[in-house]
Amino acid sequence: MAILEVKKLGSEVLRSKAQKVPKVTKRIVKLTKDMLETMYATDGVGLAAPQIGENLRVIVVDPGDGPLALINPEIIQAQGSEVDVEGCLSLPGVLGYVERFSDLIVEYLDERGKPQRIEASGLLARILQHEIDHLDGILFIDKASGISGLAELQAKLGLAEDQQ
């Protein structure tokens, strides 16, 4: 396993729509393991493949009760609403309030390529939505209010506002 570089704001892959994984292979399984190791090493609770430069529909999450790898995740049902603060490994030091669904059902493939379904609420639901957004080129700042730290990060990375 390897700790991979997390792409930062301004990286083109973060704004691209990720491609569906046609088949779960040993390479994809290794990718999920590397993503989990990277997520833990950076104190994250979720990580999407585009964040490490892979334009694939793969995410890993761990809200505190064990890791989960989801390949080709798709929200099939969502309801309720709650607002909470979010951050992102690709936008270090940036925080904002994001309204998300409070309850959802997600279908995905597991690391054996078997179809699975998960019902999520609370923190897990929030993490899943945040990471699935990454697969569609959406960053949490696109949906957030009360954003703090963005101007500082843009200055640090040498980005203009239109390079987000």
Catalogue the active-site residues: 131
Supply φ then ψ for residue 77, to 5 degrees.
Answer: -155, 140
Angstrom distance (rounded) from CA 13 to CA 108 = 22
Q: In this structure, is the dihedral angle defined by the CA atoms of residues 73, 74, 76 and 78, taken in order, positive or negative?
A: positive
Q: Half-sphere exposure of residue 57, counting CA atoms within 13 Å on the CB side?
A: 20
Contact 38, 62 (CB under 8 A): no
Residues with Cβ < 8 Å from 18, sequence gap 6 or more?
Answer: 48, 49, 50, 55, 56, 57, 58, 134, 135, 136, 137
